[in-house]
């Protein structure tokens, strides 16, 4: 059975994080297809590593996660080289850039398929169809180009309950790149873990790339699942702090309270991102608990204190300039 090579293009010059997006795809095929990860953040010459895998003839599929910016800058030349050197390999892009700019991606000539949003089900189903030479036209969250040049978007899948997904294969990643090197020193701690506890966002800010991808939908892991993952990495590799890279970690006060109670005894520091009009509804008791449980930073999307500008930004919700000031004073 053919294997899958997963590539995480370079996104930073320092403080490398666990490649969570590509790890989700690895988890989706683990036990069904052999796989390997090449992390562009950890390789001086990632194409050489990719080429070494592909030269074995065992890897027929390459999945690449692509955000705008540095990842796109590396993903393009690497994909071109793969197409030129290994034309028989199927190249699949996923992530914010191809989801929002699928036409230019598929017209490039070096990308065969785009995963439109979450790939936890779409990616393994696509590989299954290609392996068995079966139709893939009805696989949800897929964009592709037909032989006559027509671009086809299949229907979007409802967001998956996150607790039903397999755990990320941290131990397997550790055999390729030591996990300790993904736990960097930050303001929060000496071994900071990057973690995604939810996908999407229930709001429709006009300027946000999350909106066309998730269409104002949000699904989250339970507090218990988050705690289990973090506790495992703390106990095994010494993580002492957490960065929650969710688009909106604080959507549910109930979930935040449950997580804060679980993580508090671990004495880990953490941060997350939030909306002011959401957290303004949190009780004083919740805000106190969050602080006591180790939360040291909350990144708020204030955007502007001018109500006219906020209206133009079309953030949805109930945020106002006065509310921003009121909530900032409340947090003192």
Predicted confidence at residue 105, as pLDDT, reads 98
Among all chains, which residue has been given the structure tokens 């966002």? 201
Identify the residue whose tokens are 């050489």. 48
Domains and CATH numbers, the chain: 3-153 (3.40.50.2300), 183-330 (3.20.20.70)
| Nearest partner of 195 among 17, 7, 71, 14, judged by Cα | 17
User: What are the residues whose beta carbons fall under 8 Å from the beta carbon of 238, sequence distance 6 or more?
Assistant: 180, 183, 191
Say if pTM beats, i.e. exceeds, 0.85: yes
Helix (H), strand (E), coil (C) string for the chain: CCEEEEEECCCCCCCCCCCHHHHHHHHHHCCCCCEEEEECCCCCCHHHHHHHHHCCCCEEEEEEECCCCHHHHHHHHHHHHHHHHCCCCEEEEECHHHHHCHHHHHCCCCCCEEECCCCCCHHHHHHHHHHCCCCCCCCCCEEEECCCCCEEECCCCCCCCHHHCCCCCHHHHHHHCCHHHHCECCCCCCCEEEECCEEECCCCCCCCCHHHHHCCCEEECCHHHHHHHHHHHHHHHCCCEEEECCCCCCCCHHHHHHHHHHHHHHCCEEEEEECHHHHCCCCHHHHHHHHHCCEEEEEECCCCCCHHHHHHHCCCCCCCHHHHHHHHHHCC
CB 223 within 8 A of CB 262: yes
How far is residue 201's CA from residue 131's CA, in Å, rounded to a whole number?
34
pLDDT by residue (tens digit) across 205-217?
Answer: 888 888 888 989 9
Per-residue CA distances from 235 to 65, 175, 181, 296 (Å): 29, 18, 16, 22
Instruction: Please state, in angstroms and as integers, the Cα–Cα distance from residue 227 to each residue in 201, 242, 260, following that order.
Output: 21, 11, 9
Phi, psi (degrees; rounded to nearest 5) at 315: -75, -15
What's the pLDDT at 326? 94
CB 62 within 8 A of CB 46: no
Contacts with 189 (C-beta within 8 Å, 6 or more apart), sequence order: 239, 240, 241, 268, 269
pLDDT at 181: 93
Q: Kindly report, residue by residue over 266-275, the tens digit of the pLDDT.
A: 999 999 999 9
Low-confidence ranges of the chain (pLDDT < 70): none
pLDDT for position 10: 96
């Amino acid at each position: 059975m053919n294997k899958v090579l997963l590539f995480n293009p370079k996104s930073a010059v320092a403080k490398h994080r666990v490649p969570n997006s590509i790890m989700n795809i690895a988890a989706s095929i683990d036990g069904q297809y052999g796989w390997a990860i090449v992390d562009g953040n950890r390789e001086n010459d990632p194409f050489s590593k990719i080429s070494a895998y592909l030269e074995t003839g065992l890897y027929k599929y390459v999945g690449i996660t692509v955000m705008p910016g540095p990842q796109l800058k590396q993903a393009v030349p690497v994909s071109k080289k793969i197409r030129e050197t290994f034309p028989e390999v199927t190249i699949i892009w996923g992530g914010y850039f191809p989801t929002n700019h699928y036409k230019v991606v598929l017209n490039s000539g070096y990308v065969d398929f785009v995963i439109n949003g979450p790939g936890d089900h779409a990616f393994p189903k696509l590989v299954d169809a290609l392996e068995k030479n079966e139709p893939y036209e009805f696989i949800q969250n897929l964009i592709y180009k037909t032989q006559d040049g027509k671009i086809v978007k299949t229907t979007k899948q409802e967001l998956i309950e996150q607790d039903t997904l397999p755990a990320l294969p941290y131990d397997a990643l550790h055999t390729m790149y030591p996990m300790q090197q993904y736990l960097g020193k930050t303001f929060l701690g000496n071994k900071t873990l990057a973690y995604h506890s939810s996908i999407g966002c229930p709001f429709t800010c006009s300027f946000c790339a999350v909106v066309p991808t998730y269409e104002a939908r949000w699904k989250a892991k339970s507090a218990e699942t988050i705690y289990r993952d973090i506790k495992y990495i703390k106990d095994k590799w010494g993580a002492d702090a957490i960065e929650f890279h969710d688009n909106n970690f604080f959507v549910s006060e109930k979930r935040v309270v449950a997580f804060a109670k679980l993580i508090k005894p671990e004495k880990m520091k953490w941060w997350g991102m939030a909306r002011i009009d959401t957290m303004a509804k949190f009780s004083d008791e919740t805000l106190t608990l969050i602080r006591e449980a180790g939360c040291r930073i909350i990144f708020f999307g204030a955007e502007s204190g001018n109500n006219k500008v906020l209206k133009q930004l079309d953030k949805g919700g109930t945020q106002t300039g006065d509310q921003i000031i009121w909530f900032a004073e409340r947090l003192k």
